[in-house]
Chain A
Amino acid sequence: MTSLGGLALLLLAGGVPIFFVLGLTALAAVIYADLPLVLIAHRFYTGLNNFTLMAIPFFILAGLLMDAGGLSRRIVDFSIALIGWVTGSLLMVAIVAATALAAMSGSGSADTAAVSAVLQPELRRRGYNVDFAAALIACSGTLAQIIPPSLMLVLIGVVNNLSIGALFLAGILPGLLVLPGLFAIAFRHASKGGPQYRASQPFSLRLLFSSFVSAMPAFGMAVVIMGGILGGVFTPTEAAGSAVVYALLVGLFVYRELTWDRLVKAMVKASAFTSGILILVAGATTFNWLIADAGVPELIKQWFVVNVGSFWTFLLIVNLLLMALGMVMESLAILLLLSPILLPIAVSYGIDPVHFSVIMVFNCAIGMVTPPLGGAVFVAATIAQRPFLSVVRHVVQPWAWMTFVLLVVSFLPVITLILPRLAGYLD
């Protein structure tokens, strides 16, 4: 077991793609356990043949269509009209826009990319600290994984047979709790900065109204997704499919910005990312089968039962472990590999599986901005055309705040559970 872990880390550090790291480690385990080689292809196929998983391709495509069809831009425009008049306005706009987009997009990087692409030129023009802004946008962007819809919440639900609807509701409050701290950090930075942070456009009710009207069809997306799920119109997977159709229709017929060329580009890009994520899921499925077959989850569970008495300690250990892994591992891989092991243990400590899933997803979302491997920071830095290292320096404050919120959420289950309870998903 330990040598397998060592092998995996070695391959990972050597630049082997994570999909192949999982694959080669699984191969070593199969050979070691003297199991038939065909097992690998079979489990790989099984991981892909999953209807619920289909929410992932759909949310990826919907996000790209929102961008190509002008939906994302109108949400940013509305955010500018709403909060563009305060000190450090563009930073506040970034947070508001990222949060609004989070309610429609399931992907932290897509969210980060959309906000960065629209705001970066303006940030530069007004002389803002571009590195700080990029870091802040990356952190706000990770909210897309906590506030529904969310690829990570779908994934943890699929892997552990939990209701996606319940998980989506559970993510709302923890995601919103992050906001006040981000505003405060942005405000402090702006107040200490030069006059460029105060040169802002005056508030205009007319502009707010017109930009709201213009963004309304885009906001309709959130109504389709969450309203459709809660209103009993469709399942989360179907909601994701409907989000694609909705973004397509708005882009084609309302905003009329979605050309044939852009549509094809979005489809190709969505296919590429979908495949990249799905084969990763399938590779992890293979690996998890071997882990289960070797009885590892049971061993780990026994270790906890013997060594960790209270579930508070358990939660703390899990948070620390995930945080440490978040530095060096890809967030999706952590979720896929560890949730089937940790979730049953959490349940045996009396922790609600939905609550625990949100903790894991929150942790993995933070992992996306935790150096050295921070996917969202990488995206934000790339679009800002700044070196990764000068951006990542500024992640510290928002990171610390998110970690604090995570701990609060961990130890106050009511924050995650109240909405699914009110909606009747849990008792």
Chain B
Amino acid sequence: MKRAIATLRSLTTGIAVICFGFMVVAVMVQVLGRYVLPIKVGNAVETAAFAQVWLACIGAGLALRHGAVFAVDALPARLSLRSARLVSVLIAAGSLLFLAVLIYGGVLLTRQGASQSSPTLLLPMWIVFSAVPVGMSFMALEVVLRVVENWAAPFSPVYEKEDVA
């Protein structure tokens, strides 16, 4: 079980990083296509934005682990252990409810995307839309794991936590 989770985490992190790298390369190709390369590239834009959709969705679980899904937990951090556990379960339940709605809608979106092609490259759009149900399912798993892994101290500060904005 632990091993399956570790593998899944590495896999999703890997996909996120690859999407990120692809975005950088695609945008650079676009710039170079305008000035240096003898080829005419007008298409990098679309795939880069699609990679961004995948990065955001598949990286959501990673974000949760790194404390990049910001919350205001000054109040619950003062609770007793019993109440803190209860609150952490309630928060997870609410989060899962919303993720369920995203996954459900994402499936409908993906199904609709089977008959839609992308504006520039005419790719089938389900490839992009499926990022929503896939990524949000993984995030749902991380929501559950967070409660389990922090059971001893649900609102202890994560020292890596860092508000980047």
| Most chain B CB neighbours (cut-off 10 Å) among A41, A109, A237, A280 | A41
Q: Which of A45-53, A78-86, A254-262, A317-325 contacts B (4 or more CB under 8 A)?
A: A45-53
**A residues near B97, Cβ cutoff 8 Å:** 24, 27
Count of interface residues, chain A, beta-carbon cutoff 8 Å:
75
Contact with B along A31-48 (1 / 0, CB 8 A): 000000111111011001
Of B28, B60, B62, which is within 8 A of A241 by CB? B28
Question: In the bound complex, do residue B27 and residue A277 qualify as a contact, i.e. CB atoms below 8 Å apart?
Answer: no
**B residues near A376, Cβ cutoff 8 Å:** 163
A279-B60 contact, Cβ under 8 Å, with A24-B97, A61-B20: yes
Question: In the bound complex, do residue A41 and residue B72 qualify as a contact, i.e. CB atoms below 8 Å apart?
Answer: no
Using CB atoms, name the residue of chain A closest to B107. Answer: A41
**A residues near B162, Cβ cutoff 8 Å:** 109, 113, 273, 379, 382
Contact with A along B99-114 (1 / 0, CB 8 A): 0011111101100000
Q: Which of A12-20, A295-303, A305-313 contacts B (4 or more CB under 8 A)?
A: A12-20
**A residues near B59, Cβ cutoff 8 Å:** 271-272, 274-275
Q: Does A23 contact B (CB under 8 A)?
A: yes
Q: How many A-B residue pairs have CB under 8 A?
A: 221
Q: Does A352 contact B (CB under 8 A)?
A: no
Shortest A364–chain B CB gap in Å is 9
Using CB atoms, name the residue of chain A closest to B54. Answer: A48
**A residues near B102, Cβ cutoff 8 Å:** 23, 40-41, 44
Using CB atoms, name the residue of chain A closest to B65. Answer: A272
CA distance A264 to B71 in the complex (A): 26
Contact with A along B75-119 (1 / 0, CB 8 A): 111000000000100110011011001111110110000000000
Contact with B along A1-23 (1 / 0, CB 8 A): 00000000001111111111001
CA distance A130 to B47 in the complex (A): 47
A271-B55 contact, Cβ under 8 Å, with A13-B75, A16-B71, A50-B49: yes
16 additional A-B pairs beyond A18-B71, A41-B101, A275-B58, beta carbons within 8 Å, are A13-B72, A15-B75, A23-B102, A38-B105, A45-B53, A49-B52, A58-B24, A242-B28, A267-B17, A268-B62, A271-B62, A274-B20, A276-B164, A277-B165, A330-B70, A372-B74
Q: Which B residues form the contact surface with A (CB < 8 A)?
A: 13, 16-17, 20-21, 23-24, 27-28, 30-31, 35, 45, 48-50, 52-53, 55-60, 62-66, 68-77, 87, 90-91, 94-95, 97-98, 101-106, 108-109, 128-129, 131-132, 155, 159, 161-165
Sample (8) of A-B pairs whose CB atoms are under 8 Å apart: A15-B75, A20-B91, A40-B105, A41-B109, A49-B52, A57-B52, A282-B56, A373-B72
Give me the 10 closest cross-chain CB pairs, A-B, nearest first: A41-B105, A276-B68, A275-B59, A375-B163, A241-B27, A276-B63, A278-B56, A272-B66, A15-B76, A23-B98
